Amino acid sequence: MKVLVAIKRVIDPYVKVRVNKDGTGVEKANVKMAINPFCEIAVEEAIRLKEAGHASEVVVVSIGDAACQEQLRGALALGADRAIHIDISSLDLATADSPLALEPLAVAKLLKAVIEQESPQLVLLGKQAIDSDNNQVAQMLSALTQYPQATFISQLKYDESQSERPLEVVREVDGGLETLSLTVPAILSTDLRLNVPRYATLPNIMKAKSKPLTVMTPDALNVTVTMSQMVLDVFTPPVREAGEKVASVAELVDKLKNKDKVI
Amino acid sequence: MAILLIAEHDNQTLSVDTMRAMTAVKQLASHIEDTQTENSHIDLLIIGENCQPVAEQATHLAGLHQVLIADDAVYAHQLAENTSAFIAEMATRYSHVVMAATTSGKNMLPRVAALLDVGMLSDVVAIESDDTVVRPIYAGNVLARVKSSDPIKVISIRSSAFDAAVLEATATEGMTCASIDRVIPNDHTVFISREVAESERPDLSAARVVVSGGRGVGSQEQFALIEALADKLGGAVGASRAAVDAGFVPNDKQVGQTGKIVAPDLYIAVGISGAIQHVAGMKAAKVIVAINNDPDAPIFDIADYGLVGDLFEVLPALMTALDDAS
């Protein structure tokens, strides 16, 4: 089966972000970028499906300007076969510096168009991007395609012999874990516990440079990108300052009991 | 203009997340009243199987206009596909559809929005008007003020940002419960099982005190120290991602950007360095205590009280001191 993985270029999770001067977004100049950690887990899972003989081809797709090809090449170096870049640099995005510039519904519509072209059996996405923190695209994509969804998965089993519902997944939910079985094609979103992504080796990074990468535009996919949410401003929340160091357990208990009255 | 609040429940009890979302919804309703001549109203939708007890509780919730119940075996486990389709059908009569940003809210609401061809506002921490909200991005390091022009606003509420509405002793006079007979089967997804971590301790997202352990705790056995301290304080047990990944505690205890967001009166972080992703889940706590043997751990940058020391010495001493103090 063919597996499609959607990935996003985001500011590296270990970078402390700063709001830009005019309060429209965050500083992106000279900031380290990376593949969104949840997307990396999705890529890893797809490659494992290929190594296990379940997937015949792994296609990665990313939406953004030309810079996101760096993350697509990264995914190819990890073992994906082919990449699609949906170039949105021609779109007039008012708040291009904001991770909220392209709304999840627009992302889902673009990905739906790719699914119609590629007809994958499985679509893997991260459960959320660590910049916009929306946690929406997989669910929206599933609604638009009418494919079943399993979000926040921490285990995936694929068994061809179960012809009706070959997919069995474990989901991380409030209070514990939930197991579902699904028909294919299906849309899945990954949680952190699904796997530990591998590192790309230098030979694979070199090989990735010659793997196919197709560039498409929203126009070519017949998707009109519309926006319904306007970011009025972004700002830094009140900063929590360091308090004091206490020297002993007795002092700590005294403060909590008599000063803050929380115990 | 009316608001549809979707109940989070386990077919028996209305969850505290719903009570917190109710507070947000009341704020939303007050803004709608400001701008509209007609009065807005709030309906609560309960979807499940044998969920009558939940409806009974909901009649004690002041501020509701109507309780709507869809009770059928197809909704027993609130699978996203059919439950969302049902909510989307109901939503066309409302200006706002709201649910707490729990795992089921996160699972269902984006589907509802896409079916309605509208955007969604996730994890809202403040309501500014009927169309403008504040929501955190970048693990809560930045806040965004977002205005939606969608005809139906689909909103999930970060429950730690709102106080819980209370159930009145008596049912609200004149409040009606209406059953809605609409059965949408789910042909593609089948529920197999659910593993619930049973605990006598208070719910993590509602607890007044949370004691969390990180990698520094060392092992699953040693995590008993964290649990003992939590029990002594009548609190809940939390964990960092490192502690969950190492298998010390189950995943539903994870506090952080991608786990639970908590805002207790007292948060005690033990053996937790204080990575951006963890701090995202607990920095709204009233008082933060950090116990760590590394004086340079970033957790000390946000802690009200920091104690540098070996947790295996500090925790037993702390429990003895608590006994003496009480």
Domain boundaries, chain B: 2-179, 209-325
| pTM assigned to the model | 0.96
Q: Is the pLDDT of residue A72 over 80?
A: yes
* CA pair distance A151, B243, nearest whole angstrom: 23
pLDDT digits (tens, 9 = 90+) for A200-238: 999 999 999 999 999 999 999 999 999 999 999 999 999
Contact B138 A17 (CB under 8 A): yes
Contact B192 A181 (CB under 8 A): yes
Which runs of consecutive H residues, i.e. helices, occur in A79-190? 104-118, 137-145
Q: Is the pLDDT of residue A101 over 90?
A: no
Q: Taking residues A91-111, what's their average pLDDT? A: 86
Name chain B contacts of A242, Cβ cutoff 8 Å: 300-303, 306
Strand order through the sheet with B142-148:
A229-235, B142-148, B132-137, B126-127
Write out the CATH class of domain B2-179: alpha beta
Name chain B contacts of A149, Cβ cutoff 8 Å: 80-81, 107, 111, 189
ipTM over the 0.90 cut-off: yes
Q: Give one DSSP letter per residue of B216-285, joined into a string.
A: GG-STTTTHHHHHHHHHTT-EEEE-HHHHHTTSS-GGGBBSTTSB----SEEEEES----HHHHTTTTT-
Q: What is the pLDDT of residue A91?
A: 87
What's the gap in Å between the CA of B62 and the closest CA on chain A?
27
Q: Taking residues A39-55, what's their average pLDDT? A: 98
Nearest-5° Cα angle at A123, A121 to A126: 160
Is some CB atom of chain B closer than 8 A to the CB atom of A98?
yes
Q: Is B78 annotated as a binding residue?
A: no
Q: Is B295 helix (H, G, I), strand (E, B) or coil?
A: coil
Pick the closest to residue B158 from B212, B196, B131, B121 (CA basis): B121
Contact A143 B84 (CB under 8 A): yes
Q: Is B205 annotated as a binding residue?
A: no
Residue type, A138: A
Instruction: Examine residue A185 and say whether the peptide bond preceding it is cis (omega within 30 degrees of 0).
Output: yes
Q: What is the pLDDT of residue B175?
A: 87
Q: Which of A140, A186, A228 sits opposite B111 (nearest CB)?
A: A140
Q: Taking residues A78-87, what's their average pLDDT? A: 98
B2-179 matches B209-325 in fold? yes
Q: Is the pLDDT of residue A110 over 70?
A: yes
Best A36, A188, A229 residue to mutate vs chain B (most B CBs within 10 Å)? A229
User: Which residues on adjacent β-strands are paired with residue B319?
Assistant: none
Q: How many CB pairs under 8 A join A and B?
A: 267
Contact A186 B188 (CB under 8 A): yes
For B151, the closest chain A residue by CA position comes to: A228
Q: Quick one: A247 exposed, middle or buried, by C-beta within 10 A (0-12, 13-18, 19+)?
A: exposed
User: Is the CB of residue A5 less than 8 Å from the CB of residue A189?
Assistant: no
Q: What is the pLDDT of residue B38?
A: 59
Q: Which of A149, A168, A253 sits opposite B321 (nearest CB)?
A: A253
Q: Is B272 annotated as a binding residue?
A: yes
Other CB atoms within a 10 A radius of the CB of residue A135 amount to: 28
Centroid of chain to Cα B248: 23
- From first to last of its 326 residues, what are the pLDDT tens digits of chain B? 799 999 999 999 999 999 999 999 999 999 886 555 556 799 999 999 999 999 999 999 999 999 999 999 999 999 999 999 999 999 999 999 999 999 999 999 999 999 999 999 999 999 999 999 999 999 999 999 999 999 999 999 999 999 999 999 999 888 889 999 999 999 999 999 999 878 889 999 899 999 999 999 999 999 999 999 999 999 999 999 999 999 999 999 999 999 999 999 999 999 999 999 999 999 999 999 999 999 999 999 999 999 999 999 999 999 999 998 87
Residue type, B83: T
Integer-rounded Cα radius of gyration of chain A: 21
At what angle are helices A137-145 and A104-118 packed, to 10 degrees? Answer: 50
At what angle are helices B311-325 and B224-232 packed, to 10 degrees? Answer: 20
Name chain A contacts of B132, Cβ cutoff 8 Å: 232
Could you give the domains of chain A?
A: 2-235 (3.40.50.620)
Other CB atoms within a 10 A radius of the CB of residue A164 amount to: 8
Upper half-sphere CA count for residue B75 (Cβ side, 13 Å): 27
What's the gap in Å between the CA of A153 and the closest CA on chain B?
12
Topology of domain B209-325, CATH: Rossmann fold (3.40.50)
Residue type, B213: G
Pick the closest to residue B319 from B286, B291, B298 (CA basis): B291
Q: Is B271 annotated as a binding residue?
A: yes
Q: Taking residues A18-37, what's their average pLDDT? A: 93
Q: What is the pLDDT of residue B290?
A: 98
